[in-house]
Amino acid sequence: MPKSSSIKNICLYHQDLDSLNDNEGGLVEALKELNDLKIAFDQHAIVSIADADGLIICCNDLFCQMTQYSREELLGQTHHILNSGYHSDAFFQELWKDISSGKVWRGEICNRAKNGELYWVEATIVPFLGNDGKPVKYIAIRTDITQRRLAESRIYQLAWHDSLTGLLNREFLFKELAKTIDDSPGSHEYGALILLDIDHFKDINDLMGHDLGDKLLRQVGQRLQSLAHGNEVVSRFGGDEFMILVTELGSDSQSALDQAVNLAEQIRLALGATFYINGLQIHCTCSIGLVVFDDANNNKTELVKHADMALYRAKEQGRNRVSVFDKQLQNQVLNRSILRQDLQQALRNKEFYVHYQVVVDKTLSPRGFEALVRWQHPTRGTLGPADFICLAEENGLIIPLGQWVLETACKQLVEWSKDSSTASLLLSVNVSAMQFADSRFVTSVRRILQRTGVNPSLLRLELTESVFLSDVEKNILKMNEIKELGVQVALDDFGTGYSSLQYLKRLPLDLLKLDSSFVRGLPENSEDVAITTTIIALAHSLGLRVVAEGVETEAQFNHLVELGCDLFQGYWLGRPLSVQNAVVFNPTSL
């Protein structure tokens, strides 16, 4: 070989060697960069690799930390070891269908760690395909999103749940009601809205404190939730009101109604059972209104109104009952709404007047009268208190109306005082619980007495037992203020409400009125006889007189006289009449 050729070969050899060295340096550098990327990746991502059968063949440290399993415990297992039970089988079947066909899957998964804790990950699962186009392995890259999901859950909880009871709130129920209506056009599938509230809940709050009231509402929520079987949305509607949306009641209207009423009765009975709170036994009842609807009733606002109408009727009928909305009720509510508007003008237009019903003693001698307000409606004629007093209480008119009745009665007493035949007559005036609760009540009575110049000893204010459901001590003080003015005080409808003997002995009363419901059964009904006898004896032992109202027959009157009743009132003795007719009382006509 020529010398020059050898030298050339040697030079080429050194060039190749230098090139190889350069390539090795690049490879080393590339490997270093890849290793750095792996380290950084492992610090952020949770990685596992599974074979074609889904068995874990590799995982990084973060995967072990998140799952609480060691690498040895994980290798050879499927990811089913992490199944939390949160997702359905269909969820995983769809996932496996995607990745086994070569598709990349992305989504969020809730898993369970070895210690039982749940955690959420955002996952990307990438299948790697072999020459035959089928996956040979799967790489799953995950990011921990547990804190984000907890925050979202908290936001959801605040947005759609009631903070006191944990039940779903009004907004969620409205959303579900709208969805139910929108999803069922033409299906004729029936549902129901059940609206309830706790009878006299305000009184429970006032008597026992708001903390106990809150605990009662929580227990009410728990009982309602226990009655739900999957197709009910139980929500706290506000205050002491709860609403239940019931779906999937079928396509038969009568069957749907029967199911809804049955559930409502279950609710009524469940809430009527004793509650145990702070070592106390709490007894309460609820009033329930319900409306059944199908896809033809597509106005959610109207449906809620209808449920509310039914609830209101349940209260009017005595509470602790279920009332179902119907078209007749809608007409009644419409009439009531119109009457409520007319009532606003009635006092200004001087449409009210007073009738007087006589009260006699056992010799049939008149001892006084009860003033009873009437409304001369311009188109409906004469309306009694049952037609408008509740409306007056709802809109606050009861206070000025009550003051007007009281002043009218006092002026009448002044007129009677000018005639010796009527000068000693007493006049009773009913006072509603709302009127009595007004902070200006005693002041208004004092001013009316001063303005009219009436003899206060001839005026008797009749209070119902509901006055003493709240703030008893304060109301006793207020009664004492009334007594200091020289006015008599009577307890009306005694025996039908919530009187406590502990308080009864402290009340500055002059008289008890025996409710007509006990008089009605005399003298035949042994229970009414026993109750009436007991009330009269109790009143006399406390130094109180008794007036029996609702005396309809001579037999009732005679029996009450035998029992020692002091005074008597009722249609057999005299109906409510104008003042001119009322004072002309002739006992020989009986």
Q: Using one digit for the tens of pLDDT, what is the confidence trace for 497-522? A: 555 566 778 889 999 999 898 999 99
Strands 567-569 and 352-361: antiparallel
Least confident among 64-73, 292-301, 525-534, 560-569 = 292-301
Whole-angstrom distance, CA of residue 410 vs CA of residue 458: 9
Total structural domains in the chain?
4
Contact 290, 192 (CB under 8 A): yes
Domain shared by 447 and 551, yes or no: yes
Given 96, 124, 149, the domain boundary residue is: 149
pLDDT of residue 14: 47
The CATH number given to whatever domain includes residue 357 is 3.20.20.450
Q: Please name the amino acid found at residue 115.
A: N
| DSSP one-letter code for 577 | B
Residue 238 in domain:
yes
Burial of 460 (0-12, 13-18, 19+ CB in 10 A): buried
Residue 156 in domain:
no
Residue 154 in domain:
no
pTM over 0.85: no
**Helices of type H across 144-247:** 146-160, 170-182, 201-208, 210-226
Structure tokens at 464: 């119902």
Q: What is the DSSP string of 114-136?
A: TTS-EEEEEEEEEEEE-TTSSEE
Query: Does the pLDDT at position 38 exceed 80?
Result: no
Domain shared by 417 and 503, yes or no: yes
Residue 334 in domain:
no
Domain shared by 52 and 37, yes or no: no
Identify any residues that bridge with 275 across adjacent strands, giving them in sequence order: 282
Looking at the chain, how many residues does it have? 590
Domain shared by 133 and 57, yes or no: yes
Domain shared by 51 and 39, yes or no: no
Domain shared by 15 and 102, yes or no: no
Dihedral of alpha carbons 81, 82, 85, 87, sign: negative
Given 123, 149, 175, the domain boundary residue is: 149
Rounded mean pLDDT of 90-118? 94
pLDDT of residue 208: 82
pLDDT of residue 7: 43
pLDDT band at 336 (very low <50, low <70, confident <90, very high): confident
- The dihedral over CA atoms of 364, 366, 367, 371, expressed in degrees to the nearest 10, equals 130
End-to-end CA distance of the chain: 161
pLDDT band at 409 (very low <50, low <70, confident <90, very high): very high
Say what angle helices 385-394 and 327-346 make with each other, to 10 degrees: 80
Q: Which of 391, 373, 369 is nearest to 382 (CA)?
A: 373
Residue 437 in domain:
yes
Domain shared by 390 and 535, yes or no: yes
The CATH number given to whatever domain includes residue 92 is 3.30.450.20
Whole-angstrom distance, CA of residue 473 vs CA of residue 554: 41
- The dihedral over CA atoms of 125, 128, 129, 135, expressed in degrees to the nearest 10, equals -50
**Helices of type H across 453-498:** 472-484
Tell me the per-residue pLDDT of 413-446, one tens digit each, with 9 for 90 and over: 999 999 999 999 999 999 998 899 899 999 999 9
pLDDT band at 47 (very low <50, low <70, confident <90, very high): very high
Domain shared by 126 and 181, yes or no: no
Domain shared by 60 and 176, yes or no: no
Domain shared by 133 and 172, yes or no: no
Q: What percent of the chain stands above pLDDT 90?
A: 61
- Between the alpha carbon of residue 508 and those of residues 13, 180, 284, 431, the distances in Å are 126, 57, 29, 16
Strands 545-549 and 567-569: parallel
- The dihedral over CA atoms of 86, 90, 94, 95, expressed in degrees to the nearest 10, equals 20
Q: Which of 298, 260, 305 is nearest to 180 (CA)?
A: 298
Whole-angstrom distance, CA of residue 178 vs CA of residue 230: 18
Least confident among 261-265, 273-277, 300-304, 401-405 = 300-304
Given 325, 340, 374, the domain boundary residue is: 325
Query: Does the pLDDT at position 43 exceed 70?
Result: no
pLDDT of residue 23: 56
Domain shared by 549 and 412, yes or no: yes
pLDDT band at 456 (very low <50, low <70, confident <90, very high): very high
Residue 527 in domain:
yes
Residue 87 in domain:
yes
Q: Which of 154, 155, 79, 64 is nearest to 111 (CA)?
A: 79
Omega prior to 523 cis, within 30 of 0 = yes
Query: Does the pLDDT at position 567 exceed 80?
Result: yes
3-state secondary structure of 229: coil
Tell me the per-residue pLDDT of 358-370, one tens digit each, with 9 for 90 and over: 999 999 999 999 9
**Domain interval for residue 56:** 45-149
Whole-angstrom distance, CA of residue 306 vs CA of residue 291: 6
Residue 332 in domain:
no
Domain shared by 279 and 368, yes or no: no
